[in-house]
Structure 1
Amino acid sequence: MSLVLDPPIRQEREYTVTPAAPRPPAPALPLARGAWRQGWLRKTVILILLAAIWEAIARWQNNDLLLPTFLQTAQAFVQGLASGELPDRVRVSLTVLLQGYLLGILAAFALTALAASTRTGRDLLETLTAMFNPLPAIALLPLALLWFGLGKASLLFVIVHAVLWPLAVGAYAGFQSVPDTLRMAGRNYGLTGLRFVLHILVPAALPSILSGLKIGWAFAWRTLIAAELVFGTTAGQGGLGWYIFQNRNELYTDKVFAGLAAVILIGLLVDNVVFRPLETLTIRRWGMQR
Structure 2
Amino acid sequence: MAVDTLSGLDALELAERQSEPSRLLRIWGTIWPKLAALAIALAFWQLAFVLELRPSYTLPSPAEAFTELAERAQRGELWKGIAITARRAAMGYGFSLILGVGLGLAVARVRVLRVAIGSMITALQTMPSIAWFPLAILLFGLTEQAIFFVVVLGAAPSIANGVIAGIDYVPPLFLRAGRNLGARGLKLYWYIIAPAALPSFVSGLKQGWAFSWRSLMAGELIIVGLGKTSLGGQLTLARELIDPPGVIAMMIVILLFGLVVDYFFSKADRLIRNRWGLIEQ
Please indicate the TM-score interval, normalised by the length of the shorter structure.
Answer: 0.7 to 0.9
Instruction: Tell me, in whole angstroms, the C-alpha distance in 2 between the residues paired with 1:131 and 1:271.
Output: 25
> How far does residue 135 in structure 1 lie from its aligned partner after superposition?
1.3
1:107 aligns with 2:99: yes
Q: Give 2:36's aligned residue.
A: 45
Give, in angstroms, the shift of residue 177 of structure 1: 1.1
Q: Distance in 2 between matches of 1:202 and 1:38?
A: 33
Taking the aligned partners of 1:260 and 1:104, their CA distance within structure 2 comes to 25
Q: Which residue of structure 2 aligns with residue 282 of structure 1?
A: 272
Residue deviations 1:92-123, cap 9 Å, x none?
Answer: 11101110101111111111111222212322
Given the two structures, how large is their TM-score scaled by the length of structure 2?
A: 0.84
Change (3 A) 1:284 1:63: same
Match of 1:139 in 2: 131
> Is the 2:66–2:249 Cα contact (8 Å) retained in structure 1?
yes
Q: Deviations over 1:40-70 (max 9, x none)?
A: 1111111111111111102211623221111
**TM-score when normalising by structure 1:** 0.81
Match of 2:258 in 1: 267
Q: Determine the structure 1 residue equivalent to 2:245.
A: 254
Please tell me the residue identity of whatever aligns with 1:285. R
Residue number in structure 1 paired with 2:18: none
Q: Any conservation in 2 of the 1:233–1:242 contact (CA below 8 Å)?
A: no
Aligned to 2:142, what secondary structure does the other structure show?
coil
Q: In the alignment, which of 81, 86, 95 is matched to residue 94 of structure 1?
A: 86
Match of 1:69 in 2: 61
Matched, 1:220 2:209: no
Q: How many residues are paired up?
A: 256
Q: Share of identical aligned residues, percent? A: 31
Tell me the equivalent position of 1:243. Answer: 234
Give the conservation status (yes or no) of the 8 Å contact 1:58–1:67: yes
Would you say the 8 A contact 1:163–1:217 is kept in 2?
yes
Distance in 1, matches of 2:150 and 2:230, equals 15
Alignment CA distance shift 1:135-1:188 (3 Å): same
2:174 and 2:225 map into 1 onto residues whose CA distance is: 49
Deviations 1:60-86 (A, max 9, x none): 116232211111111111111111111
Q: What secondary structure is seen at the aligned counterpart in 1 of 2:275?
A: coil
Question: Are the aligned partners of 1:206 and 1:283 in contact in 2 as well (CA < 8 Å)?
Answer: no
> Contact (CA 8 Å) 1:115, 1:124: kept in 2 or not?
no
Q: For structure 2, list consecutive stretches of 5 or more residues without a partner in the other structure.
A: 1-24
Could you tell me how far apart the structure 2 residues matched to 1:204 and 1:276 are? 18
Q: Name whichever structure is richer in helix by fraction.
A: 2
Determine the C-alpha separation between the residues in 2 that align with 1:232 and 1:190: 56
Distance 1:55 1:167 in 2: 40
Q: What is the alpha-carbon distance in structure 2 between the residues aligned to residue 289 and residue 142 of structure 1?
A: 46
Residue by residue over 1:115-154, the C-alpha shift from the partner in whole angstroms, topping out at 9 and shown as x without a partner, is 2222123224413214322211221111111112222211
Separation (CA, whole Å) in 2 of partners of 1:196 and 1:36: 38
Q: Does 1:83 align with 2:75?
A: yes
Question: Which runs of structure 2 are paired with 1:138-217 in the superposition (5 Å)?
Answer: 138-217=130-209
Could you tell me how far 1:284 is from its partner in structure 2? 2.1
What is the identity, as a one-letter code, of the residue corresponding to 1:47?
L
The answer for the alignment partner of 1:60 in structure 2 is 51
Amino acid paired to 1:43: K
CA contact (8 A) 1:164 1:216 kept: yes
Structure 1 45/36 Cα, relative in aligned 2: closer, same or farther at 3 Å? farther
Aligned-partner residue type, residue 38 of structure 1: G
**Structure showing greater Rg:** 1
Change (3 A) 1:83 1:35: same
**Gaps in structure 1 of 5+ consecutive residues:** 1-33
- CA separation of 1:36 and 1:86: change in aligned 2, threshold 3 A: closer
